[in-house]
Chain A
Amino acid sequence: EDQVTQSPEALRLQEGESSSLNCSYTVSGLRGLFWYRQDPGKGPEFLFTLYSAGEEKEKERLKATLTKKESFLHITAPKPEDSATYLCVITSYGKLTFGQGTILTVHP
């Protein structure tokens, strides 16, 4: 059975304090790993797709990386507007498996 485990469950940072979110996964035949951002009361917003180990994607202060067992979402010099829940999702043969998310809070 495909599984996604995200850690930590919650992360509090000071503005400018860089850190990383972890997503560990087990899957039979990874077709892609996705990162989403979800703000309270809104739908998940697509950020990145990673397809193979070694791949990296960047968007503003966010950088996602992928190995054969896990993915990291690195946040460099975060700002309060980066506060959100970040979801890691894997897909295998058309089926999506969602992680529980990491709640990120960035204090000014």
Chain B
Amino acid sequence: DAGITQSPRHKVTETGTPVTLRCHQTENHRYMYWYRQDPGHGLRLIHYSYGVKDTDKGEVSDGYSVSRSKTEDFLLTLESATSSQTSVYFCAITVTGGYEQYFGPGTRLTVT
């Protein structure tokens, strides 16, 4: 258990509304990641962070923004949700000195 929590765990929202998902870690790891998982596409990287206020884009970053004002929290924001952003979102961390990532429990987001 890498001490990762995600909130909310489930959310239903309407097209055009803003949505923020939160990832919280308890062990002060430097690297944090946001992924989405969709049938037929597997896990795809949205954004990642390598420190407070240090973030970069992944392969599917359009329509998403992130912020990291504290080491323990990494926020993913959908500024104006679309139906194509209906997905399961996972947060992950890399333990210092390693390459493997440890994943949170996920947030299931439905955009109607």
Bound state CA distance, A44 and B103, in angstroms? 6
Who on chain A is nearest to B6 by CB? A43
Bound state CA distance, A100 and B43, in angstroms? 8
Bound state CA distance, A36 and B37, in angstroms? 14
Chain A residues, CB < 8 A from B45? 96
The reply on A99 being an interface residue by CB < 8 A is yes
- Tell me which of A87, A91, A98, A99 contacts B99 (CB under 8 A): A91
Contact size class for B?
A: 10 to 19
The reply on A49 being an interface residue by CB < 8 A is yes
Q: Please tell me if the beta carbons of A98 and B102 are within 8 angstroms of each other in the complex.
A: no
- Tell me which of A42, A96, A100 contacts B105 (CB under 8 A): A42
Bound state CA distance, A79 and B81, in angstroms? 42
| Nearest chain A CB to B67 CB, angstrom units | 21
Binding site for B on A (CB under 8 A): 31-32, 34, 36, 41-46, 49, 87, 91, 96, 98-101
